[in-house]
Chain A
């Protein structure tokens, strides 16, 4: 599948500070989480994608547009909806005026922009409050208006920068549900920039992990959280037989752990299935009820990646 965003050899410096170093990223259609601690380079990457920063020598392609040219920047901004992290709504304007004005600036004509503003405000669940001055809105309402303005011109790509910032748990879940349905039901490609791992885990299929300006990992969440393949989680019919199996497995070159939440076994290197384990169990008369590969949480993966030295 053609990636919606491709960055090759992207480096960005602010004076002597290197914000991004040799970044090579391909972002496929669907929902992708851009993960990283503060200062990792996430916002700088978004600025590059929006054409605010024009790095020299790098190849940047956003929905087929090259942001290093003026025509490319204008073209990609028609294809991209951006929801900034911080406050960005002008006081004295209500939500309808704000969203419709931004729709018109995106190239829609007046009546279309107004109709579409109401449509997206309905979608984000802002009812009569849409006619009130945005200065009187709660954080949750402001976040919804920010999402609505990103959607007004119906862009195929959405860049959402910390969309759940400042939201209470209910508002957060509602926002994440909206983000999920944008991808699943409306066919949008979403790049969700966040440092909240549960948000990314809940909404995204893919992740790109940035740390200190380097891409530490990219791929599907399923691939990243999969165990190393040699660790299996076991369930015995009779848990009291764990010690018997443990002794027999060790004798056969396997490693068994009982960390509390279940029995885990590491198969000898080079062995990819559980047949040797079943043979050992059969020999000692232990019945295995279930075997499944171990998985790691995204948080475990993330913390491990942050501890690693970047590849140079």
Chain B
């Protein structure tokens, strides 16, 4: 079986990103921290549920006491949803760092001409770049999410978590995939338009945070929470929680509204990328 045509380009991008170790260290510190924090919570909650005070030391004993007093119930899916909620801004930063420079730096250096003169279609080129940014995004979002799920599966007695809540594994994958795919596409769209990586990063943050702020203001002014559907951050949470089957008291609008909002943004991004890349090829 031969590798797809975009694979060498994706691999080259991944290797290039790997060369700069300090940004990698800084950008992945928080996702790894959250991952360990939530995994530890799961470890302690399962331990507390099973009364394993002898193996956990004072922390475990405190957890067991707290669990009895406050009647804490273990909800792994809720914890995963909370992990995605906490790490969403870092996901934006992470993906912006790796994705925003990919197309505009190619353009600035003139490297796109070398790629277009190879047996590579424009779609292959974009897919190659998209896979690069998706890889780094997945390392910061999907891998920690799956690690938390794995912790729950490993800690639950007789793989009870997998047997009872196996759909949470797919839900976590889908939530992570949606988050990374959305931001990866957005980062490539702004990179296709911007002349420099720094401008593209600013544009990406603006495109994520301004609609979020605007949607909150509209929701407050008009007294209708459904306006929050305009925020990609909120819509990602809504659709992701739907995948995880987490009850959502706050998001009182149909899930498909959020899905449609995200699809519309992604469609616009794809159109922007397609138009820009076509133009680059002609004026190469």
A interface residues, Cβ below 8 angstroms from B: 47, 50, 52-53, 70, 73-75, 77-78, 80, 82, 84, 86-93, 97, 101-102, 104-107, 149
Please measure, in the bound complex, the distance between the C-alpha atom of A101 and the C-alpha atom of B106, giving whole angstroms. Answer: 14
Q: A47-B284, A52-B284, A105-B9 in contact; A74/B119 too (CB < 8 A)?
A: yes
Q: A90-B111, A91-B109 are in contact. List 9 more A-B contacts (CB 8 A).
A: A52-B281, A74-B119, A75-B119, A77-B117, A80-B117, A87-B109, A90-B16, A104-B8, A107-B119
Selected contact of A101 from candidates B12, B20, B281, CB within 8 Å = B12
Q: How far is the CB of A112 from chain B (nearest CB, A)?
A: 12
Contact of B282 with A149 in the complex, beta carbons under 8 Å: no
Selected contact of A89 from candidates B15, B111, B117, B121, CB within 8 Å = B111
In the complex, chain A residues whose CB is within 8 Å of the CB of B281: 52
Find residues 213-231 in chain B having any chain A CB closer than 8 Å to their own CB.
none
Q: How far is the CB of B116 from chain A (nearest CB, A)?
A: 7
Contact of A50 with B109 in the complex, beta carbons under 8 Å: no
Top 9 closest pairs, chain A to chain B, by CB? A104-B8, A88-B110, A82-B117, A101-B12, A74-B119, A77-B119, A90-B111, A105-B118, A84-B113
* Interface membership of B263, Cβ < 8 A: no
A-B contact pairs, 10 of them (CB 8 A): A50-B117, A52-B282, A82-B113, A88-B111, A88-B113, A88-B114, A91-B109, A93-B16, A101-B8, A107-B119
In the complex, chain B residues whose CB is within 8 Å of the CB of A84: 110, 113-114, 117, 284
Interface residues as binary, B101-141 with A (CB distance below 8 Å gives 1, 0 otherwise)? 00001100111011111111100000000000000000000
Selected contact of B110 from candidates A53, A77, A87, CB within 8 Å = A87
Interface residues as binary, B251-284 with A (CB distance below 8 Å gives 1, 0 otherwise)? 0000000000000000000000000000001101
In the complex, chain A residues whose CB is within 8 Å of the CB of B113: 82, 84, 86, 88
Please measure, in the bound complex, the distance between the C-alpha atom of A84 and the C-alpha atom of B110, giving whole angstroms. Answer: 9
Q: How far is the CB of B163 from chain A (nearest CB, A)?
A: 42
Contact of B9 with A88 in the complex, beta carbons under 8 Å: no
